[in-house]
Amino acid sequence: MAENAHHHPDTLFNTDAPVHTRLRRMLTSSFTAKRMAALRPAIQKVTDEHIDAMLAGPKPADLVQALGLPIPTLMICELLGVPYEDHEFFQHHATVEVSQTSSAEQDRESSVALGEYLARQIHAKTDNPAEDTLSDLAALVKAGELTMGEASLMAVILLIAGHETSANMIALGTLALLEHPEQLALLRETDDPKVVAGAVEELLRYLTIAHTGQCRIALEDIEIGGEVIHGGDGIIVSLPAANWDPEAFPEPDRLDLLRDARQHNAFAFGVHQCLGQQLARVELQVVYGTLYRRVPTLRLATTLEEIDFKEDAMAYGVAALPVTW
C-alpha cells in the first residue's frame, strides 16, 4: 500500500522508453518547427497589441503583467484550444504547482483542479474537434490510445510549461539586457533575424530558467570531476552549471549576444529535451526583436536590489519588473 501511495502517473518527465516514446510521439505533431513558424504572425500581432496597451497605459508598468505573462499564455491557449478567459484560474493553479513553498495539500488541490478542468475541455472536443492539441488528445482518447487521465495530465503539463517558462524568460531576459546596455543596443539596432535568433540562444544559455527541475537516477557508475556517482544514485542535474561551463562557453559569466550558444542545455538534453522549445524560441525572437525597437528608451523603474526574484520556483524569474520609458 505504501508503495502505491507514492506512485506518480506516467508523464513525459518521469518515464523512459518505451513509455516516454509512446507519450512523446502523440504530441510531436502539435509542436513541429513548421507549426510553430506558422504561429509567428499571430505572436507578432499579440506582441504589438500588448506593447500598444503598455505604451497607452500608466508608467511605470510591470513588464511581467504587461507582456511576460499574457503573450505566452495567449499562445499556449491558442495552441491547446483552451479559452483564454480562464487564464486567471489556471495561472493561479500553475503558480501553486511550480512553487517549492506550496504544501502537499495545496499542490494536490491545484493538480486536481487543473486536471478536472482540462478533462472537461478534452471531453468537449470529442464531438466538436478543432485544429488544436486538446482535439488531438480527444481523438487519441476516443481511439483508446490514451486514457482520459493520461490525456488531461499531458494537457496540464503543456499548459503549465507552455506559459510559465516563456513568461519568466521575457521579463528576466529584459532585465539582463537592461543591465548590459551595450548588448541591448546590439539587439535594438539589428533587423537581422539571424542576430535576433542568436541573441535568444545566448540569453537562454545565460539565464537557464529551469534551474533544478531535472531529477535523474544513474543507471551505472559515472565519474564526473573526480567524483564517482554510483549506479542507482539519485541525481539533481544543474542545467545552469552546464551552460556556464568554461570549457563549453569561454567566459561563461559574460553575456555576449554574438557568441554561438546553440549548444546550450536550457531546454535539457537528449530524449527528454523540452517538447515546446520551438514555440519558446519563436515567442522570444518576436518579443525581443520587437520590444526594444518599439520602446528604445525602456529602462528599469526600480533598483536591482528591490526586485523580487523567484528563488522558490522550478522556473526562475522575477515576480514583477517595473519599467518606464
Place of cell 534551474: 211
Choose, from 61, 94, 161, 315, the residue flagged as catalytic: 161
Q: Residue 202 catalytic?
A: no
Cell of residue 282, nine digits? 519563436
Choose, from 97, 164, 201, 202, the residue flagged as catalytic: 164
Q: Residue 283 catalytic?
A: yes
Q: Residue 150 catalytic?
A: no
Choose, from 218, 274, 301, 320, the residue flagged as catalytic: 274
Pairing of strands 322-324, 299-300: antiparallel
d(CA 206, CA 203): 5
- Total count of residues recorded for the chain: 325
Cell of residue 103, nine digits? 504544501
d(CA 275, CA 271): 10
298 — phi, psi (to 5°)?
A: -55, 130
Choose, from 61, 166, 199, 280, the residue flagged as catalytic: 166
Three-state DSSP at 252 gives coil
Q: Residue 3 catalytic?
A: no
Three-state DSSP at 309 gives strand
209 — phi, psi (to 5°)?
A: -55, -45
State which H helix or E strand residue 54 sits in: helix 40-56
Choose, from 97, 201, 202, 283, the residue flagged as catalytic: 283
Three-state DSSP at 175 gives helix
For the chain, where are the E strands, in sequence order? 61-62, 214-217, 222-224, 227-229, 234-237, 299-300, 322-324
Q: Residue 274 catalytic?
A: yes
- As annotated, the active-site residues are 161, 164, 166, 274, 283
